[in-house]
Amino acid sequence: MRFMVMVKATKDSEAGVMPTAEEFTAMGAFNEELVKAGVMEAGEGLHPSSRGARVAFSGKDRRVIDGPFTETKELVAGFWIWKCASLQEAISWVKKCPNPMRTDSEIEIRQIYSAEDFGDALPAEVREQEERLRKEAASRAG
């Protein structure tokens, strides 16, 4: 199973406050442990929402909304993609994580859909296309 593990934003992360050397070192050690265990597939921090945008959809219309966004508790400051045997394993790893913020913080864990999760609802040609695109993206990344 694959999971997206999201570090929720705080006022500090939205203000662009950088981690200290000690915080970078602690998170680097945790990321190294994840990689050595074969769990971490990707992980990145995100710039504050003031440097981002949203695109709102209404039928065929598109509307761009420039950041910053006001509801900090709903924003993501960083993420990992992990491969774990279960949600419980992902939770166990998150519990080992150093606090990603200087203040109280939250990390959200969400399972990523796989083609198998859609069963017969996913047409065979779309399933084949997804597999082809996944392989092509992996080859371009590697």
Q: Tell me the whole-structure pTM to 2 decimals.
A: 0.90
| Segments of the chain with pLDDT less than 50 | none
Q: What is the pLDDT of residue 58?
A: 98
Q: What is the pLDDT of residue 109?
A: 98
Q: What is the pLDDT of residue 115?
A: 86
Phi/psi for 66 (5° steps) reads: -80, 145
Q: What is the pLDDT of residue 16?
A: 95
The pLDDT tens digits of the residues spanning 11-20 come to 999 999 999 9
Q: What dihedral angle (degrees, nearest 10) is formed by the CA atoms of 28, 67, 141, 37?
A: 30
Q: Long-range contacts for 113-122 (Cβ within 8 Å, ≥24 apart)? A: 114/1, 114/2
Cβ–Cβ < 8 Å for 8, 76: yes
Q: What is the pLDDT of residue 8?
A: 96
Structural domains of the chain sorted by starting position, each given as residue range(s) with its CATH number in brackets: 2-111 (3.30.70.1060), 115-142 (no CATH)
**3-state DSSP assignment of residue 68:** coil
Q: What is the pLDDT of residue 70?
A: 87
Q: What is the pLDDT of residue 72?
A: 85
